[in-house]
Amino acid sequence: MDRRTFLLNGAAALAVRGVAAPVATRSEAGQLKLGVATYSLRKFPRAEAIRMLKVLGVRYVSIKSFHLPYELSPEEIRAGAQEFRDAGFTILSGGNIPLNNPAELRKMFEYAKAAGMPMMVCAPTHQTLDEVEKLVKEFDIKAAIHNHGPEDKHFPTPESVLRAIENRDRRMGLCIDVGHTTRMGVDVVEWIRRAGPRLFDVHIKDLADLMDGRSQVPVGRGAMPIVAIFKTLKAMNYQGGVMLEYEIDADNPLPGMIESIAYMRGVLDGLAGA
């Protein structure tokens, strides 16, 4: 049995028993913080999403509003975020958070503050950037602008984000989505490298066809250069999250997420032992 099959079979067996998959010690001891963007579990309520995250055995999360709605009171937001912490998770960020409505910007920063989020993975516009920067300074919460590919009129590429924040507060940075980046026909590894200290977050996924977002598959089955991405992040001494954003199989995402996490842990273990 090869290593990939061993990892997948072991994780799947643990998931069937409903217990947390073991965390690979070398992966966790390394520099990369492997986690999950809870958008991956958008069809499930908070308590069930937390249970599924435990099955995956990850430590780090980026909370989507499905699991912590913007409409909650500050007390409810704090309590909901605490449920993740009580379950053993570290909240690296929230998002993706829309920052396109000038009337709602402060509310979104207050939401992130109530949840204790040190960073917002966000989608501003060029028109809201000045006010977003002011709020970043006021609240001392990082803003990681997420590039969204060809459909995004404001920030389709990592380059478009980096150009917009070049002369702005150092707490404004990039959340690179590797799938949306490759769909633009650019070298995702090169743009990770170019982002340097402005790279705050990474959304990981895999595509069978790097130009087609509809071709998403569990990480390790597609054409995404995962090994090269991880090598580059480690060489940069990257300290942010590497967050699985699993956008397929919404009604039954856990098998594919288990496979994805197991593959990435295998890659990290391989790099640690190289």
Partners of residue 241 on adjacent β-strands: 33, 201
pLDDT score, position 274: 72
Distance of CA 180 to the CA centre of its chain: 13
Write b or e for each residue in 239-274: b if 16 or more Cβ atoms lie within 10 A of its Cβ, otherwise e. ebbbbbbbbeeeeebbebbbbbbbbbbbbbbebbee
| DSSP bridge pairs for 166 | none
pLDDT (tens digit per residue) in 54-108: 999 999 999 999 999 999 999 999 999 999 999 999 999 999 999 999 999 999 9
The class level of CATH for 37-268 reads: alpha beta
pLDDT of residue 59: 96
Predicted TM-score of the model (pTM): 0.90
Q: What is the mean pLDDT of the chain?
A: 91
Q: What is the mean pLDDT of residues 179-190?
A: 97
Q: Is the pLDDT of residue 21 over 80?
A: no
Tokens for 187, please give them: 């070298």
Q: How far is CA 135 from the centre of its chain?
A: 22
Q: Which pair of structure tokens corresponds to residue 126?
A: 């060029």
> What integer is the mean pLDDT of 154-172?
98
Domain ranges of the chain: 37-268
User: Is residue 22 exposed (0-12), middle (13-18) or buried (19+ Cβ within 10 Å)?
Assistant: exposed
Q: What is the pLDDT of residue 179?
A: 98
pLDDT, position 63: 98
Q: What is the dihedral of CA 242, 156, 96, 137, to 10 degrees?
A: 90
Regarding predicted confidence, which is higher, 37 or 16? 37
Q: Computed over its alpha carbons, how large is the radius of gyration of the chain?
A: 18
